[in-house]
Amino acid sequence: MPFSMDDTITATATAPGRGAIGVVRISGPSAWNIGLAIFRSKSGGLKRIKPRYLYYGHVVNPANSEQLDEALAVFFRGPHTYTAEDMIEIQSHGSPLILRRITELALAQGARSAEPGEFTLRAFLNGRIDLAQAEAIADLVSSSSDAAIRQSLHQLEGTLSRQTKLANDAILRAMAPIEASIDFPEEEVPPVERRNIQQLIQSAQSIAAELLSGAERGRIAREGISCVIAGRPNAGKSSLFNALLQMDRAIVTAMAGTTRDTLEETALLGGVAVRLTDTAGITEIASDEAEAIGVQRSKTALDNAEIAILVIDSSLALCEEDTTAAHMLAEKGYGAARRPIIAALNKADMPHAVTAAALRSMLDAAGVQPFTIIETSAVEKTGLRELETAITQAALGDQFAEHAPIVARARHRDALLRASEALAEAQQTLISGAPLDFVAEDLREASARLSEITGFQVTEDLLTIIFRDFCIGK
């Protein structure tokens, strides 16, 4: 990816395909000259153009004054723009051919095609946003759930950056007296108070630990979570699967064992993208080869999922197949905080043969601690809201504060882990009474790792990796 800031770039900023309108974006030192060359205002007077006003006119070919399309144009002056440079955005009809022709006109006037994410890269390099905020923009564009949108907006507003800066400030305050004592040993520098240094390191450690504690929730909010629906044959798994999806995705009949394979669909439940997997009924003895393969695939789905919904037919007494399913969940590690299990007493519209207490007793005997037990009816659509809430709570834990900084990217989590390790080393070295030079080295390492999050210390290779996944025009 080019890192030159001296040229002017252009690209279509709207998604590929036909639409009512499309936007071509131009940014750089020649943006206004290019815009004035290819856009003609209906009212004239573009020499007296004002920034941030919307002008109506036509896109024209400067070579022959041929009109290409009716359009609107907005001119912006840096640094008060998305890229902190001079910019122009032309809104035309959304024909891909028209948008390509407008881009070609800009290229003919001296612009070059923007690389993926180059507009946002310029915003970062020009100091308008930091690297964490730039990544939040990419996450916001690709958000597939309400939780992902909220999280991306908070990061874009700087919540993660501010907490990272607080931790780094504490580290720098701890480093300052140590560095002074090292650099000016002959001067009358006040003695280093090791207790004060220790407190500052603890402060930075607390912030890093708090950020890391929300890393898993952040990943789930950004990427979604996988949830498998399991249980014995004919417990109503497919009906519940369809009810959560609000569509007839799985075939449902009164015959047991209708589902022989796994079915996967993503549903937006409680603002979280949940990848639901419907499975074949779990049984010890398969009636045929197809059912045996289905059971094996159910086990594989349980291996890969993060949450399980154990479906119990509440209209029939608990049987050996229910116990088999519970034991299998226990073997797969479900029932703990890391892999929650939600027990659904399904078919609640029919006379009950199973109580919540009886189900809990059976699960206890199987070594499974359920996250919660909910009565549901896929037919009457009852208990579904409670089930959605339970899935969200199992995925995200307690509702975190609306503006709490959440770590969503693996890169941020890795940087925080490495910073925490360096801080722990610094604390241990300080307590041991070792020379302060060693403490300073660990603190420098911790500061460098935190600075990677916001981009104050970052390599061109890392920037290329981060911005290559952006869409062109952003």
Q: How far apart are CA 136 and CA 120, in angstroms?
A: 11
Predicted local confidence at residue 253, as pLDDT: 46
- In the structure, what pLDDT confidence band is assigned to residue 397 with cuts at 50, 70 and 90? confident
pLDDT in tens, 129-167: 999 999 999 888 888 788 888 888 888 888 899 999 999
Predicted local confidence at residue 145, as pLDDT: 81
Lowest-confidence pick of 215-224, 241-250, 439-448:
241-250
- Are 212 and 417 within 8 A, CB to CB? yes
Predicted local confidence at residue 302, as pLDDT: 87
Predicted local confidence at residue 221, as pLDDT: 82
Predicted local confidence at residue 168, as pLDDT: 93
Lowest-confidence pick of 39-43, 274-278, 373-377:
39-43
pLDDT in tens, 10-28: 999 998 889 999 999 999 9
Residues paired with residue 54 on neighbouring β-strands, in sequence order: 74
Q: What is the mean pLDDT of residues 181-200?
A: 75
Predicted local confidence at residue 120, as pLDDT: 94
Predicted local confidence at residue 401, as pLDDT: 46
Q: What is the mean pLDDT of residues 337-345?
A: 88
Q: How far apart are CA 464 and CA 474, in angstroms?
A: 15
Q: How far apart are CA 418 and CA 423, in angstroms?
A: 9
Predicted local confidence at residue 405, as pLDDT: 64
- Are 259 and 281 within 8 A, CB to CB? yes
Helix axes 159-183, 131-141, angle to 10 degrees: 160
Determine the Cα angle at 415 with ends 410 and 420, to 5°: 125
Helix axes 410-432, 159-183, angle to 10 degrees: 30
Share of the chain above pLDDT 70, in %: 90
Output 446 or 468, whichever has higher pLDDT.
Answer: 446
Predicted local confidence at residue 30, as pLDDT: 96
What is the rounded end-to-end Cα distance, in angstroms, of the chain?
A: 14
Give alpha helix (H) positions in 251-318.
289-304
pTM of the model: 0.78
Lowest-confidence pick of 303-317, 427-441, 451-465:
451-465
Confidence check: pLDDT of 289 > 80? no
Predicted local confidence at residue 474, as pLDDT: 87
Predicted local confidence at residue 376, as pLDDT: 92
Predicted local confidence at residue 25, as pLDDT: 97
Predicted local confidence at residue 255, as pLDDT: 47
Output 280 or 393, whichever has higher pLDDT.
Answer: 393
- In the structure, what pLDDT confidence band is assigned to residue 249 with cuts at 50, 70 and 90? low
Pick from 132, 141, 124: nearest CA to 84? 124
Confidence check: pLDDT of 441 > 50? yes
Pick from 230, 236, 231, 233: nearest CA to 379? 236
- In the structure, what pLDDT confidence band is assigned to residue 291 with cuts at 50, 70 and 90? low
Instruction: Sort 190 into a burial class: Cβ within 10 Å, 0-12 / 13-18 / 19+.
Output: exposed
Predicted local confidence at residue 189, as pLDDT: 60
Q: What is the mean pLDDT of residues 352-379?
A: 90
Predicted local confidence at residue 188, as pLDDT: 62
Domains and CATH numbers, the chain: 9-129 (3.30.1360.120), 137-214+407-455 (1.20.120.430), 220-396 (3.40.50.300)
The contacts of residue 355 (CB under 8 Å, 6+ apart) are none
Predicted local confidence at residue 100, as pLDDT: 96
- Greatest alpha-carbon span in the chain: 89
- Are 439 and 197 within 8 A, CB to CB? yes
| 124 alpha carbon, distance to own chain's centre | 20
Q: How far apart are CA 224 and CA 40, in angstroms?
A: 47
Predicted local confidence at residue 447, as pLDDT: 94
Confidence check: pLDDT of 116 > 60? yes
- Are 29 and 8 within 8 A, CB to CB? yes
- Reported as half-sphere exposure (CB side, CA atoms, 13 A), residue 450 has a value of 31
Phi, psi of 267 (to 5 degrees): -125, 150
Mean of the per-residue pLDDT values for the chain?
86
Predicted local confidence at residue 436, as pLDDT: 85
| 253 alpha carbon, distance to own chain's centre | 38
Q: How many residues does the chain have?
A: 474
Output 166 or 190, whichever has higher pLDDT.
Answer: 166
- In the structure, what pLDDT confidence band is assigned to residue 70 with cuts at 50, 70 and 90? very high
Confidence check: pLDDT of 406 > 50? yes
Output 222 or 101, whichever has higher pLDDT.
Answer: 101
Q: What's the per-residue H, E or C state across 67-91?
A: EEEEEEEEEECCCCCCCCCCEEEEE
Confidence check: pLDDT of 45 > 80? no
Torsion of CA 420, 425, 431, 437, to 10 degrees: -120
